[in-house]
Structure 1
Amino acid sequence: MLGYLQGLKGSGSGSEQLPSDIYSEIFADVLVAAKENGCKTNGQEKPEGFSMLRSFDSEASNQLEPPAATDADVWIFGYGSLVWKADFPYINRRRGFVWGYKRRFYQHSIDHRGIPERPGRVVTLLPGDPGQDRVYGVAYRIAANQKGAVLDHLDYREKNGYERCSLEFHGYPNTTASGEEPIQVIMYVATQANDSYAGDVWQVPCIAKQIFSSAGPSGPNREYLFNLAAAMEHLFPGAVDEHLEELVACVKRHIAEDEPNLMRHALLQEISGILQEKQLPEQAKRLEKLLERCQQPGGREWLLHGALQSRSEA
């Protein structure tokens, strides 16, 4: 980087042109990577992580030798990230739904898809029409001798405002067609009483903007949204979730229409600030750190959040 800066300044480029030159030569590829990572077109294959969804029925368990089922087993219902990210041992799993609830991105995430100063948005359940509203998801059967460890793991994973409750789960597409009786499941719901509950104070456009510009230790918030939408499309064809579909459309629109300009503006500002340093070695060091941060998970969202804040304050 130092050699590049020395050569660039020796070429006679004016100080006003330097940020654009550095951006074009070194940072422009960040935009391409951001676009490819953030949103795939309908014609592209699902992410590699969805191989387990493509083989849902043929791979019932995630254990090589699952324990035998017993009456002491418990079922866990997942309607968010648990649908595609079951990081715990289970005997088998079923597709299905619970009656009388609506899935909404009304919970702030400060430990998975966001951080305390830039929260993301994840799903919780709200009471709905008992005879009309369904929430589709996956129920996992947990062996009696594994349920203590699994529930402890999930209590920690869902610690930011989620509480356990119990509900009836119906097989997909419906109980009558499948011939299965409803089963009792444990699920985690973030109630309005928890500190991270965001609610519908911000409607879909604002929630989408928050998802578009948030990331946390578990990855970009948009990845959570797109994974959930892909899982619903694959596992429950024909099922309608207007809230989820509106959010996906809105976030994809931000990615296509706003992200390139926001990223370019944010990077040019960062580069211009770095070039205010008097010493060339320090400039090179800070540019290397900026590039490294941009390439790390959440680097894109850090820039987007700052650019959106600058826009709103202007």
Structure 2
Amino acid sequence: MSINNSLPDENDEFWLFGYGSLIWKPPPHFDRRIPGWVTGYVRRFWQASEDHRGTPEAPGRVVTLIDRSFWEQLTDHHDTAPDKVWGVAYRIIPDRVAEVKEYLDIREINGYTIHYTPFHPAADVDPSLLPHDSRGEKGPVKTLVYIGTPDNEQFVGPQDPQELAEHIYRSEGPSGLNRDYLWGLEKALDSLSPESGDEHVTDLSNRVRTIAAREGGGIQADKQILRAQFPVVSPDPEESLHHDHHHHFKKVGSVEEQEETEKTS
């Protein structure tokens, strides 16, 4: 897969693709949110998190994208993966692109790097939301994406699912419990499309729920799911957001409420 890692020209529309917490925690300065998918990748909880869902002494686990051709050479206990990796694309408000580009220059931390990949909008997306050259066939759209590649020091590779679930259940960092991130991602993916579920995410979520019940944390776990899925938000009157009748969303009120670099924070 050929990847151009340079930032787009000033006159290009600037889109970001989120496949993890960015799905339900939007980036700053966007005016369009579009559900859809990319190909050529596999989503896995194979990236250590020392700064958000864990600590340097006890890193948590967050998702990254694995090039499918590389993943096929590995021994993964979850030995199947959907052809489409679902998520959302956000268009940055044109007059804020320069500001966001500068902001992104310092975000390559904790193992994530910038890549570009074609994004395919969901079938029911309003064509008026797409770039001018994509409205005829509804895509693809060139999107920026943060990926923790296998050569970065935070990449942990394949893990036994039960051991990974136990690790996620017990991990916590400045952004909260690791299991909140997992359950929030599961719920957010399920809300995008009937076909947007991810077996890897669902299996880990079920395993962690079983652990929570075993540990006597069933009621607390339900509260954590609600917190992860419905973060505190506040309106920003300075930015107008497009709402279409298919996909309603809220905007996170501050940069501090965002997390993993995958989602541009």
Would you say same fold, with TM above 0.5? yes
Distance in 1, matches of 2:98 and 2:165, equals 37
Cα shift at 1:157: 4.9
AA aligned to 1:126 is: I
Q: Which has the larger radius of gyration?
A: 1
Superposition deviation, residue 206 in structure 1:
1.2
Unaligned runs of 5+ in 2: 1-9, 73-81, 128-134, 218-265
Equivalent in the alignment of 2:113: 163
Q: CA deviation at 1:173?
A: 3.8
Runs of 5+ in structure 1 lacking a partner?
Answer: 1-69, 261-314
Q: Distance in 2 between matches of 1:254 and 1:163?
A: 33
Q: Please tell me whether the aligned partners of residues 189 and 197 of structure 2 are also in contact (alpha carbons under 8 angstroms).
A: no
What is the aligned counterpart of 2:146 among 185, 188, 209?
Answer: 188
CA separation of 1:195 and 1:103: change in aligned 2, threshold 3 A: same
What code does the residue aligned with 1:90 have? F
Within-5 A mapping of 1:210-249: 210-249=167-206
TM-score when normalising by structure 2: 0.65
Deviation by residue 1:226-284 (Cα, 9 ceiling, x = unmatched):
11111011112233311001100000011001355xxxxxxxxxxxxxxxxxxxxxxxx
Q: Which of the two has greater helix per residue? A: 1
Indicate the residue corresponding to 2:63 in structure 1.
123
Correspondence for 1:138: 88
Relative distance call for 1:96 and 1:86 in structure 2 (3 A) is same
Distance 2:92 2:42 in 1: 25
SS of corresponding position for 2:191 = helix
For residue 258 of structure 2, what is the aligned residue in structure 1?
A: none
For residue 222 of structure 2, what is the aligned residue in structure 1? none
Distance 1:74 1:157, change over 3 A: same
1:12-51 equivalent positions in 2, closer than 5 A? none
Identity %: 40
Kindly state the Cα deviation for residue 193 of structure 1 after the two structures are TM-superposed: 1.0
Say if 1:215 and 1:80 are closer, same or farther in 2 by CA, change over 3 A. Answer: same
Name the CA distance, whole Å, in 1 between partners of 2:57 and 2:170: 12
Counterpart residue type for residue 24 of structure 2? W
Say if 2:163 is the partner of 1:206: yes
Q: Secondary structure at the match of 2:51?
A: coil
1:155: how far off?
A: 5.0
Show the counterpart of 1:73. Answer: 13
1:198 counterpart SS class: coil
- Paired with 1:257 and 1:155, the residues of 2 have a C-alpha distance of 44
Shift of 1:186: 0.6
Note closer, same or farther for the CA distance 1:86–1:237 as it changes in structure 2 (3 Å cut): same
Q: Which amino acid aligns with 2:186?
A: A
Instruction: Give, in whole Å, the separation in 1 of the partners of 2:165 and 2:102.
Output: 32
CA RMSD of aligned residues (A): 2.6
Instruction: Pick from 37, 60, 69 the counterpart of residue 97 of structure 1.
Output: 37
TM-score, normalization: structure 1?
A: 0.56
Structure 1 match to 2:232: none
**Secondary structure in structure 2 of the residue aligned to 1:205:** helix
Counterpart CA distance in 2 for 1:192 and 1:136 is 21
Instruction: Report the equivalent of 2:253.
Output: none
**Change over 3 Å in CA distance of 1:173–1:189 after alignment to 2:** same
